[in-house]
Each structure stands twice: as structure tokens, then as C-alpha cells.
A and B are shown apart, each in its own frame.
Chain A
Amino acid sequence: MGSSSSNMDHIPDAQHLMQETGFSAAHLVRLYERFDFLDKDDRGELRLDDFEAVSELAMNPIGDRIIRAFFSPGRETVDFPSFVRILAHFRPTDTNRTRNGRNGAQPEPANSRTNKLKFAFQLYDQDRDGKISREELLQVLRAMLEMQVTEEQLQSIAERAIQEADLDLDDTISFDEFKKSLEKVDIEHKMSIRFLE
């Protein structure tokens, strides 16, 4: 794998990143190698076509949304720190960290339950207005169900979903409502990749 120390030098701001995201040095190196691999023309940053080169993403119904999530609004490229920060959301939650005397002094880590959910929420909420409108939900359903259903069926499902979740009756799903509808799902388990442990 190469000596990690030499690789670490390539990584800009490694210590800071490690602290911010909670990744260990070994993980950071691994992620950097992956970043390097994806970065086909060695620019030090990833562009849209680099992501699209990952073949499996093409088959993924929400592949384009995931790719877009890596790009901060307005920017065309993804540098390594942004890459790592996004992936930090999928680190398994450290249960011990959250309990001992950590008051509001430090911001919640990226892989806390709320932040994981926030990331998922943002994938639904494309226009970033903080709410999932019916149209946005329909788009997601359309993407996931991939032409196997009629428009009416989609509409009904969307309607049903909003009815169930929408507690303040504004016909959209806010982040809190989103969180509430998923309270029974084990998000810490579901949204974690062991690779990133």
C-alpha cells in the first residue's frame, strides 16, 4: 500500500481533515487513493465526467443526484476535502462519543444521525428550500420506479406519502417531518459503510 507517511504528505491539510471528519490516517490514505483513481487526468480535483465514469452509477436510479451532491452549489469541481467531507456522513456512528459530557461546544460530527438524515434530505430537496415538495417527491419516485408504473399510480403514492408524513399540513415534507417518518428505521446502521470505519 505504500508507506502511509509519504502518501499523507500529498494530502492537503490532513490533520485538520482527520479531526473534522473523524477518519483515521489509514482511512484517509485509502480515500485519497480512491480519489486519485477516479481523477483520471490527475488534476487534483474531480469533475462530473470522472464520476460518471463509475459504471455502476449509471445503473443507479438516483445516481445523478448522488453525483450532484458532491458538488457544492455553484462549483464545477470536487476537491479532496469536499470528497472526504461528504463521505464522512457515512461513517458508522461512534456511540460512545455522543454520550460523555459533549455539550453543544463542538458541532455534531458529520456522521451523527441527524446529519446523515440531513444529507439524505438534501438529495430529495433539489432546490434546497428546506422542504420536499410534491413535485420533488414525484421526481424521486419516477426515478426509482423507472417507467414501470403509470403516472396516476405515482401520483397516488406521492399523495399518500405526503398525507402520512405531513403533520403541519403545508403539503410539503419538512426536515423534521422527514426525520419523524424515519424514526423507526435504524439509520445509524443503514447509512453506514463499514469500509469507512
Chain B
Amino acid sequence: MPSRTGSHSPAGFGKSLPERGLLLLMVLVFLEGSVLPLGAASSPDTSHQTNLGDHQGTHTGPNSTKKPFPVLAVEYDRVQIPFEISLWVLLASLMKLGFHLIPRLSSIVPESCLLIVVGLLVGGLIKLAGEEVPPVLDSRLFFLCLLPPIILDAGYFLPIRPFMENLGTILMFAVVGTLWNAFFIGGVLYGVAQIQPANPSDLHQLELLPCLLFGSIISAVDPVAVLAVFEEIHINELLHILVFGESLLNDAVTVVLYHLFEEYAGVGTVTLLDGVLGVISFFVVALGGVLVGAIYGILAAFTSRFTSHTRVIEPLFVFVYSYMAYLSAEIFHLSGIMALIACGAVMRPYVEANISHKSHTTIKYFLKMWSSVSETLIFIFLGVATVDGPHAWNWTFVTVTVILCLVARVIGVVGLTYVINKFRIVKLTTKDQFIIAYGGLRGAIAFSLGFLLNQDHFPMRKMFLTAIITVIFFTVFVQGMTIKPLVELLAVKKKQEAKRSINEEIHTQFLDHLLTGIEDICGHYGHHHWKDKLNRFNKKYVKKCLIAGERSKEPQLIAFYHKMEMKQAIELVESGGGVKLPSAMPSTVSMQNIQPKKPPPAKPVERVLPQLPKGREEEIRKILRSNLQRTRQRLRSYNRHTLVADPYEDGFSDLLIKKQRMVELEKKMSNYLTVPAAPPDSPTMCRARLASDPQAYSMKPVSDSVPTIQVDLASPQSPDSVNLLDEFRHAGQQQPEVEDQGLMMKPPSGPSGPNKPREADEARDQQKLMRCLSDPGPSADEDEDEPEKIKKKKSH
């Protein structure tokens, strides 16, 4: 371990950070290892026994000799289970932290490998301590608690467009590929088992059906493992979606095959009728799962339409509906994974149109957090379960299995690609095929399915488990570690990180229309035709139901544009309003106010804007100050039901509304109005202040030369703000009178009138700033006459 100051200095302070991290990890691993057996030893898992113990404890009090009152008592049993769970989660998270502290480890070894090793260590420690290893990878725990967050995360953020474009390919790999793998592996294993030389090998007991069952368990590519490994190699979108999509959609096949063979393994034969029923069952499982997911998705979207007054629980709906979809699908033995994916994918566009920006962030972070913890836990548990066993090692079986998995995968991918390429426009190259084949990783799902097997029906269960674990280890360690260098070696295209520009959005839509038109001319009802029909249907009926308010009519391009503007504004704030600004920021305003000490930097090159004469600026500031401050005085209370105004969102629309009124007012007074934006402090300070103390908007009074604007802490329920918002909505949609101050955007070089360009320019750019920068302070003087004018305005 490289260390800057010498790794064995007596004082702990000299050690470098990674070393400290490692030390901490070790301590924690030992702690974990020691507490768990303690927990296991102190009370057996039956809770009633602990209750009994408690009762006895309390009842012996009065009867026996009086003990002194225990000042400090230890009662671990009561909190044992939550305590252990928390300890596991903590261990997992600290491991994750630790790996990234160690400098080069995370780039060589994928995280999943390290986590399995940690699991092995912990399991080993527990065993050394002589205790029973807790059955951590219990199938119920796995399927009901650990797996759903990962799948939901994947499904909610699934990139729909590439998924749909490649759906045919993905389905071919998922369905046909998995079937091929299952039967090939199962069949060949059975053959190998039969031709064993005559020493009384266990393998002779192996019948065909258990073999096929084993084949179906082991053949499915695992989404968790794929995600874990592929996330780190940043491969191009097409390959990522192909392998990942396959891993998600093969769940249906696995479920059907598993149940089919499990049912009949006891009986011993599978007839043709059962086969046919199995095929039908596959369609039921797959489509049923998707249907269940879609129903819950629509319910969630519909619910989110009404959440504008209780924004705090918006994320909860997303999570709970999705989980219910999963559970409901599991009730009927439908494919829970597909239900979850369908639910997430269906609800996302509508929910995102309805929920607040903060909720969106919350959902994103919670999903990432849960899925990350789940994934970590799964890998650690895999390690622990490996130590636990039970194992029955059989050289032949295991090695043949491993080899067969590889061989079957390669043959399957190559064969299927040959067929698929006949139908694809963009063909899959050999490199692509290699990555797809190599990326077929197995993971914990296979293990859990194996674990679920009944020992009585399947006497070879232990052998199966051992083989499954070996295959998992092989794929995760060997394939997981080598895939990154191979990707580099083969120069596979990597993911392009850039964001979508508005040009891309416009042109892509344009091309969609173009292609639809050409298809219509050719008389060909292709891909674009149906997509167009679906979009029309969506726009006409579905959006109206599921999206609240006026956003249902918002075309996609506009929504995209808004998002971009918002992002840019936020970025502007976060960059501290530094010297380099994006285009079209007027220098008069921005620089002065963000960094009051620095002289205004040179104007940005791209668009040079005219400055406003000083006199006018003064008038404008006065008006704004007075108007805005009045509204600010209203809202003081803070409770959970009144969210702090999000300057990036709620406040901003209020600001814009006020601005609109100011502008209308100005029109009446026939003055020019621009809105100088003005935080006296740096944006980061403002943000910090906002975050810490929602009420403390009283900043130090600013000198007069700096115009100020206040943010209205209006809650969504405050009557005034509601009116404002409604007004805004009305205003935004009015007939496009050129005079109308469409607040959101103003043309920087509008066609009408000489006044317009300046005003509009300033206005729009001010908007940008206003949107980001939140806190101005109150200023000393107020004009008394202005508020009356404002009042008059308000009355209509």
C-alpha cells in the first residue's frame, strides 16, 4: 500500500487516507464477525422464546430475592433482528466507501468481485467463531427485498427509445437464447452423467428432468451481475441495452421453465401436452406480467396528477405502486421483473410531467441508493452463503457445467446473430457478438432459484448449488475482471457522454415526421407509422387523463426546452456565476451582482447587448423592490405541509409572474422595464442559507446601487400564490399576442419595435439569473405609491 508519510508511523495521524480506510474496514469486518455470532448465540431465531425469557425476567422480580435496580441492562434480544439487518447494511455501505478510497483497486477489480470476497471473509469469520452462519441468502429475502429495488431502478430509468428499437433482437436473445441454453446444458449434462464410467458415481442418479431444471436455472443471464459489471465499463448504448434488456426479459422464460420442470420432476415425465401448456404459460407469464405492471403504472400516473398539494409524498407513490406491481405479479406466478419494468417505464413520462423537481430528484436518489445497497448486499451475501454451503463437490459435474455454459452461450449468440442480422438495419458485428457472449454473466438469481429447490425432490440439490456457485464465481471473477481490458483491446465503441442538444431534439422529431411521410407514400406500414399512431393516441387521450393541468398540452419539444433552460440556469448558479458565462448574459447585471467586489468582466463574445440607461434602471428597481417585498411579508410559518419554496421551481414561477405583472404595469406606465437580478451574495451562499434556514431571508441591507429582488416564500397553498400561478397558466397560454409577455421565453432579437429587443433580451437573461439566484435582502426604502398601483392591478 503506497503511503506518503510512511506506513508504520507510531502516531495514527501520519497515515494516508486509503490506509485509514483499510484499517477501518478491517475493524468493521471483525466487529461484524463478532457481533453476529453473538446475536446467533444469545437467542435462537424463535421469537417466542425471547418473549418467554422476558416474561420470566419480569416475573421473577417480586418472588425471589430483591436485586438492586439495574442501572445499566443489556437486552439484545429485543432488537436483534433489526440490529443485525442494520449492521449488514452498514457493512455493505462501508465496504462500498472503502473500495473507492483505495486508489487503484476499483479500476482493476470490479466492485462485485471485491464484495464477494468480503462476504467470504465475513462468512469465514463467523464460521471460525464457531457459530451458525445466518441463512442470509434466503430466497424470500432475496426475491422480496433485495431484488426489487435494483429492477425498479433499472426499469424506471430504462432508455425507452433504444430499447424499443432493438426489441426484436432483445426478445430473440432473451427467449430463444435462454431456451437454447437451458436445453443444451441440461441435455448434455444428462448425457455426460449417463456415460460416466462405472465407478458408482453419484451422477448416475441424475435424471433428465432435474438436469433440465438445472439447465434452466443456470442459463439465465442475471441483471444484477450485468448491471454491476457493465456499469463500470461504459460500453456503447446499443450493446448495453442488448445485454441488459436480455437479462431482464429472460425472467419470463426462467420462471416458466423453472416451474414446469419443478412440477414434473417429481413425476418424472413431461408429455407433449405439458410442453404445449408450457408455451402457453410462457405467454401468459410474460404478457400478464407486463399487463399487471402497466396497470399499476397507469394508476401511479393517475395518482400523481393530484399530488400538487402534497408534494412531500410524491416519491412514495412511485415506490409503493411499483412494489405492489411486483408483489401482485408474484402472487400469480407471473414474471415480477417484467411487471416492475413495465410499471416503471409506463408511469415515468406522466409522473415526471406531474411531480415537482424536488420529488424527481428524490426519486432518483432513493432508487439509486436502494439499488446500490441491494446490489452490495447481494454480493456480500453470495460470499457468505458460499462459506455456509452446503456443498457437494463433484469435479465432473462442475467443470462440465462451467464449460458448457460458455460454449452454449457462444453458440447461441453466434447462431442467433446470424438470423437476426437478416432483419436488422444496423448489423451486429463480430465484436458486438463477442461482447454480448462474454457479457452473459450469471448471478444471485440463479443461486436463489437453486436454493428454493426442495431437498426431497431433488437429492442432488447440494451438487447443483455448488455448481451454480462455481459458475457464478467464474463469470463474475474471470469474465467480470477481464471484460474491461478486452473492451479496451477490441476498441469497442464506448458510451457517448454528451447530453442531448436542442438541435438533436428538433431534427430527430423532424426526421420522425419525414420518415412517417415517406412510409405513407410507399404504402408501407412500418415502424414509424405505428410509432406515429401511438404518439397521436397518447397525445389525444392518454396525456389528458394522466397529466395534471395544462402540462398535458405541452408538446414534447417545449418540455425538453424548459428542462434545458432549467438545467442551464442551475449550472450557472453552481458554477458560482464565474467569469465564463454561457451565451447571452448581459454584463451590466450579472457580474456586478454576483461578485460585487470584482469589476465586471468583459462582455461575452457571442451576443453583445445594449445597456440600459441608469435612470431607467433605478425606476425599475424601485418598482420591483416594493412590489416583491410586500408579498414576502405574508408567509412565515414553516411546517412539513408547507414546503419551502424551491427557487428553482416554485419561487421561480412566482418571480416570473411578478415580473409579468411588473411588465404589464410598465406597459401601462409606458416605461421600459427590465428586471435586473440581484443577489448580493454569491449564489452558493444563498443556497446554503436557503437550505439551512427557510425563514431567514433577512439579509444585510444592500447598498442602493445593487438592485434586489426577494423570493416569495409562498407555499403552494397560499391563496395569493395560487392565484398567481393560475394567472400565470392563463397568461402563458393566451393567444400569442406579440405584446404578451410570455414569461418563459422572450426573443432576444424580437421583430417588433425598437424597445422590444433590449427589454426582451434583458428580461430573458434576467429570468435565467432570477431562476437560479434566490436571495436578495430587503432594502431600506420602499415606495408607498407603487404598492397601490400593484394592488389595483391585482384586483383584476
Contact = CB atoms under 8 A, between A and B. Distances in A.
Interface of A: 31, 34, 37-38, 51, 54, 56-57, 59-63, 66, 87, 90, 92, 95, 120, 123-124, 140-141, 144-146, 148-153, 155-157, 159-161, 163-165, 169, 178, 181-182, 184-186, 188-197
A60 B742 contact: no
- The 6 A-B pairs of least Cβ separation, nearest first, read A156-B745, A155-B747, A152-B742, A181-B503, A56-B520, A66-B517
Interface in B546-571: 553-555, 557-558, 561, 564
B2 interface: no
Interface string B511-552: 101111111111110111100000010000000000000000
Interface in B734-770: 734, 736, 738, 740, 742, 744-750, 764
B602 interface: no
A169 B606 contact: yes
Nearest to A155: B747
A165 B503 contact: yes
Contacts of B630: none
B510 interface: yes
A152 B738 CA distance: 8
B583 interface: yes
B503 A182 contact: yes
B510 A144 contact: yes
A131 to B, nearest CB: 15
Interface in B447-499: 496, 498
Contacts of A192: 425
Contacts of B165: 189
A186 B426 contact: yes
Given A57-B517, A66-B517, A156-B747, A144 B583 contact: no
Nearest to B583: A163
B502 interface: yes
B3 interface: no
A188 to B, nearest CB: 6
A153 to B, nearest CB: 5
B668 interface: no
Given A144-B513, A145-B558, A181-B503, 4 more contacts: A150-B736, A153-B744, A156-B747, A182-B504
Most A CB within 10 A of own CB, among B520, B524, B529, B734: B520
Nearest to B733: A150
B773 to A, nearest CB: 21
Nearest to A196: B522
Contacts of A153: 558, 561, 742, 744-745
Residue among B427, B504, B553, B733 with max Cβ neighbours from chain A (10 Å): B504
Main SS class of interface, A: helix
A164 B560 CA distance: 15
B498 A184 contact: yes
B201 interface: no
Given A51-B521, A120-B511, A195-B526, A157 B555 contact: no
B91 to A, nearest CB: 42
A185 B508 contact: yes
A60 B535 CA distance: 12
A196 to B, nearest CB: 7
Nearest to B519: A193
A152 to B, nearest CB: 4
B584 interface: yes
A137 B514 CA distance: 15
Nearest to B499: A184
Q: Chain B interface mostly helix, strand, loop or mixed?
A: helix
B501 interface: yes
Interface string B586-613: 0000000000000000000010000000
Contacts of B558: 145, 148-149, 153, 157
Nearest to A134: B749
17 contacts: A34-B523, A37-B523, A54-B520, A87-B518, A92-B425, A149-B555, A150-B734, A152-B746, A153-B744, A155-B746, A156-B747, A156-B764, A159-B748, A160-B561, A164-B501, A195-B519, A195-B522
Contact of B506 (A57, A149, A155, A161): A161
Contacts of B748: 156, 159
A145 B504 CA distance: 16
Contact of A181 (B507, B515, B536, B738): B507
A157 B560 CA distance: 10
A116 to B, nearest CB: 9
Contacts of A38: 521
B509 A144 contact: yes
Contact of A66 (B425, B521, B733): B521
B736 A151 contact: yes
A142 to B, nearest CB: 11
Contact of A195 (B514, B524, B561, B606): B524
Nearest to B568: A160
Interface in B409-464: 423, 425-427
A126 to B, nearest CB: 13
B501 A181 contact: yes
Contacts of B536: 59
A190 B511 contact: yes
A155 B750 contact: yes
Contacts of A148: 553-555, 558
Contacts of A56: 516-517, 520, 529
A61 B536 CA distance: 12
Contacts of B504: 181-182, 184-185
B746 A156 contact: yes
B732 interface: yes
Nearest to A61: B513
A195 B526 CA distance: 8
A196 B515 CA distance: 12
A197 B425 CA distance: 9
Contact of B745 (A37, A63, A152, A185): A152
A62 B507 contact: no
Contacts of A169: 606
Given A155-B745, A157-B557, A193-B526, A90 B518 contact: yes
B507 A120 contact: yes
B502 A160 contact: yes
Contact of B507 (A90, A150, A182, A188): A182
A188 B425 contact: yes
A62 B503 contact: no
B502 A140 contact: no
Nearest to B429: A95
A156 B423 CA distance: 42
Interface string B264-305: 000000000000000000000000000000000000000000
A184 to B, nearest CB: 6
A193 B745 contact: no
Given A155-B747, A160-B502, A57 B526 contact: no
Contacts of B553: 148
A62 B750 CA distance: 25
B23 to A, nearest CB: 46
A66 B526 CA distance: 18
Given A66-B518, A189-B165, A144 B557 contact: yes
Which of A141, A146, A194, A197 is the most central at the interface, judged by chain B CB atoms within 10 Å of its CB? A194
A134 to B, nearest CB: 9
Nearest to B731: A150
B636 to A, nearest CB: 36
Nearest to B162: A186
Nearest to A137: B506
Q: In this complex, which of B517, B564, B583 has the most chain A Cβ atoms within 10 angstroms of its Cβ? A: B517
Contacts of B522: 31, 34, 87, 193, 195-196
Contacts of A140: 506, 510
Contacts of A195: 519, 522, 524, 526
B557 to A, nearest CB: 6
A60 B520 contact: yes
Given A150-B732, A150-B742, A188-B426, A163 B584 contact: yes
A63 B748 CA distance: 31
A164 B517 contact: no
B513 A191 contact: no
